[in-house]
A = this chain, B = another copy of it.
Amino acid sequence: MTISKIRIAAASAFAIALFNPAHLYAVPALPNPVQIALKDDPYAWDIIEGLTTEVGQRQGGTEAEARARKWAVEKLTEMQFANVRIETYQMPTWVRGEESASILSPFPQKLAVTALGNSGSTGEAGLEADIVYFPTLAALKAVPDGSLKGKIAFVSHAMKPTQDGSSYGAFGPARFVGPDIAAKKGAAAIVIRSAGTDMHRNPHTGNTNFSEGVKPIPAGALSLPDAENLERILRRTPRGQTVKMKLKLTPRNIGMQESGNVISEVKGSNPDLPPILIACHLDSWDLGTGAIDDGAGCGIVTAAAMHVKQYSRPKRTIRLLWAGAEEVGVWGGKAYAVKHKDEPHALTMESDFGADRVWRVDFKLPESAKSLSDSITADLSELGIARGTAEAGDGADVGPIREAQNLAAIDLAQDGTRYFDLHHTPDDTLDKIDKTQLRQNVAAWTAVLLRLSNYEGDLKMPPKEMKP
């Protein structure tokens, strides 16, 4: 569907809503732009479909991400956002090579593996070594330094799904720091059970980080079924025998490459009010097409801004940040914070947790803005969203500027129950997006942006207390 057709359809729906005589008797609980977003939003899907189909994977620092920026500028221009521009920066870039894993003995078979970001290389010849099994990261940490010399460590910490995504914090470290720890213990390589919650032969990639001075070892993630199979292989191996694996991972560092943020705006009528910064990230991991991570986020925030732009006259500017290179180190978010450090900002929000329904809203606002949070809470309750008690501050890409300027924030928490089924896998594709839940997200964001962009009070946070 083209944008002009979309606009006509949406405008007609709005006209019908406005002139429906039922409105004489019952004022709708939600502002009309929110109702339109909920029932008929075409923008979010159009953006996600476009990005995943016309660009596909778009890893930070690669030519695919550059094509995604070009695509983004064309789309945002077509949608008539203001000040559409690319802000480039340079970043170190790691790219995947060949990857394979197989058990050589006692039960020869192939396993599905993928390299973690920043993994070292086994070289073309691959690496053959015995497996040493660790059921948890704690077990890996517990063995003496040097004890893994010449071995492949296998950490099989089994992640569980949680609605709020908190299990990523509990189980993710096997990926985040497991390879660094194994390297320090002398391991030749490491394979982990993917930090994921599905049962498909699609391993979950994602960055791992080695400490200063530690030489990166080859670090792979096995798909969940393969990790369970390897556990069974270990259990069924006769006493006295070892399990020998051949691992081949040939990623490379290709040095500094260009990446960039795509920025655009909905101009507010009052130039004295600092802008609201809303973000998603444009890059994706290379295995899937980046539908839930984070095409969905760009679709959601942009569609909501579009509804505000079309059906209201915002006083405060809304700035959209489609950040570059989030997955591989939040390079876009960091570059934004450096470049815009001297500009005032009012508040940050980010969408980067798929496209399933929003179930909770959290705030970080000055005391003076109680009426704002109350009216947002009231609007969102109509969408089945409850107020939480956590301090808001989500979003990797807005993190650096939020921290630097101590900014207010609002978080719309999405249902993450199935997010880690798909996260960083080949399976992150358009078909995983539920259109009804996607529209609920757009409606929630529209509701929040309508309130925020018309709020003229001060949103400055009091200075942080210094830790003693």
Contacts and interface: CB of A to CB of B under 8 A. Distances in A.
A375 interface: no
Interface in A194-240: 199-202, 224-225, 228-229, 232-233, 236
Interface string A420-452: 000001110111100000000000000000000
Interface in A270-306: 288-289
Contact of A228 (B54, B229, B426, B431): B431
Given A49-B232, A107-B53, A225 B429 contact: yes
A55 interface: yes
A59 to B, nearest CB: 12
A204 to B, nearest CB: 13
A376 to B, nearest CB: 35
Contacts of A112: 426
A56 interface: yes
Given A53-B232, A53-B233, A426 B201 contact: yes
Given A199-B431, A430-B228, A431-B199, A55 B107 contact: yes
A453 interface: no
Interface of A: 49-50, 52-57, 64, 67, 107-110, 112, 199-202, 224-225, 228-229, 232-233, 236, 288-289, 425-427, 429-432
10 contacts: A49-B232, A53-B236, A54-B107, A56-B109, A56-B229, A57-B109, A200-B200, A201-B288, A201-B426, A229-B289
Contacts of A431: 199, 224-225, 228
A451 B144 CA distance: 62
A45 to B, nearest CB: 12
Given A53-B236, A201-B202, A236-B54, A229 B429 contact: yes
Contacts of A225: 427, 429-431
Contacts of A199: 429, 431-432
- Copy total for this chain: 2
Nearest to A106: B54
Contacts of A232: 49, 53, 430
B109 A430 contact: no
A431 B425 CA distance: 19
Contacts of A54: 107, 233, 236
Contacts of A236: 50, 53-54
A50 B233 CA distance: 9
Given A56-B229, A225-B429, 5 more contacts: A55-B107, A56-B107, A199-B431, A225-B430, A229-B430
Contacts of A108: 56, 64, 67
Nearest to A111: B56
Contacts of A56: 107-110, 229
Nearest to A202: B201
Contacts of A229: 52-53, 56, 289, 429-430
A97 to B, nearest CB: 14
Most buried by B among A57, A229, A430: A229
Contacts of A55: 107, 109
B427 A200 contact: yes
Contacts of A107: 53-56
